[in-house]
Amino acid sequence: MSDFIIETNRLTKQYGDQKSVNNLNMHVRKGRIYGLLGRNGAGKTTTMKMLLNLAKPTSGEVHIFGKDIRTNEKKILPRIGSLIESPGFYPNLTGTENLKIFAELRGIPKRNAIENALELVSLPYRDKKLYSQYSLGMKQRLAIALAVMHDPELLILDEPINGLDPIGIAEVRSFIRKLSEERGKTILISSHILSEIALLADDIGIIDNGVLLEEESLEELEGKNSKYIHFIVSDIAQAARILEGSFNTKNFHVEDEHGIRLYDTNLLLPIINRTFIENGVDITEAHVCENTLEDYFKKVTGGVGIA
Ligand SMILES: Nc1ncnc2c1ncn2[C@@H]1O[C@H](COP(=O)(O)OP(=O)(O)O)[C@@H](O)[C@H]1O
Ligand SMILES: [Mg+2]
């Protein structure tokens, strides 16, 4: 039995001759915010639909809370809150009235649950405004309120910040974090916006063309994106000896005949330069570089960047 809240095994969805999701092995850990990052058309929504048994996999399996979703749907789904497509809210009712209808359908003890959910997303309980008069941001918040109303352990939110303005985005980010930190929820969220995932997720899965290319913690990812000083020098062996001998560091990487990357960026560049020159190492280039998450995304997807 695994410790994962969500685990997929070679999950695949084929439409015609296109594999929209291709042999996907995904692992979402308890209490974490997992960001599924990929461009439009990468396969995020299709993946989430299969997790919720809304789409049937062509092959492969989904395990949620350690159980196969296909044979345990009735036990598993009530423990999940999801936002995949916009829920069918009634335009001529208020937000609260809409939630009441859903609460009744689902047999949730009403008032408290609705009040709590609305409070979380900062929508008023007593409000005469009709859903049809809601801004896009308010509609999105109501949809999230609906997803959390029955206090699920796991939330699956497909691009919850889509179409929101910057303030709306910041608010959604803050209550997703609150759900994770204060209420211990496990949250799977998808986005095509790299910076957003970087701000929110604990773990990141990068999906491209239906393939999960990378899966790791933000910490690990940031480790790969550290700053370094890039030197091009005449004598790489001598430069390496100087760094070890005079600067007492092994935290560098020799790229090729002339290139060296020093990750110990606390060392002062002018002093290193002087020491190299004094010891017969000519320097053609020396500058501080930083691999951004965007560089990393380009590298793993082998293509153009993402916002
Ligand atoms: N019902 C469907 N029939 C045919 N192709 C589909 C269907 N749903 C999704 N696709 C295709 O699968 C790919 C992945 O789509 P999707 O999962 O919606 O990506 P994302 O959510 O990452 O933008 C796209 O090429 C899309 O056109
Ligand atoms: Mg989508």
pLDDT of residue 228: 87
pLDDT of residue 307: 53
| CA 159 to ligand 2 center in whole angstroms | 7
Of ligand 1's listed atoms, the one at least distance from the Cα of 40 is 23
Residues with beta carbon inside 6 Å of ligand 1? 15, 20, 38, 40-46
pLDDT of residue 11: 98
Which residues make up the environment of ion ligand 2, defined by Cβ < 5 Å?
Answer: 44-45
pLDDT of residue 107: 83
pLDDT of residue 102: 92
| CA 43 to ligand 1 center in whole angstroms | 6
Atom 16 of ligand 1, nearest CA residue: 43
DSSP label at residue 60: E
Rounded Cα distance between 292 and 119, Å, is 37
Q: Which residues of the chain have pLDDT under 70?
A: 1-2, 225, 303-307
Please return the burial class of 302, using the count of CB atoms within 10 Å of its CB with bins 0-12, 13-18 and 19+.
exposed
pLDDT of residue 298: 79
Encode pLDDT of 179-195 as tens digits.
999 989 999 999 998 88
pLDDT of residue 2: 66
CB-based contacts of 207: which residues, under 8 Å, 6+ apart? 24, 36, 37, 38, 42, 43, 44, 47, 213
pLDDT of residue 289: 85
**DSSP for 105-141?**
HHT--HHHHHHHHHHHTT--SS---BGGG--HHHHHH
pLDDT of residue 304: 59
Rounded Cα distance between 144 and 99, Å, is 11
Q: Which is it for strands 4-15 and 67-68: parallel, antiparallel or unpaired?
A: unpaired
pLDDT of residue 103: 92
**Structure-token pair, residue 173:** 């980010």
Atom 18 of ligand 1, nearest CA residue: 45
Rounded Cα distance between 25 and 9, Å, is 5
Of ligand 1's listed atoms, the one at least distance from the Cα of 16 is 4
| CA 91 to ligand 2 center in whole angstroms | 24
Q: Taking Cα atoms as reference points, which of 195, 207, 218 lies closest to residue 34? A: 218
**pTM over 0.85, yes/no:** no
Q: How many CA atoms lie within 13 A of 240 on its CB side?
A: 14
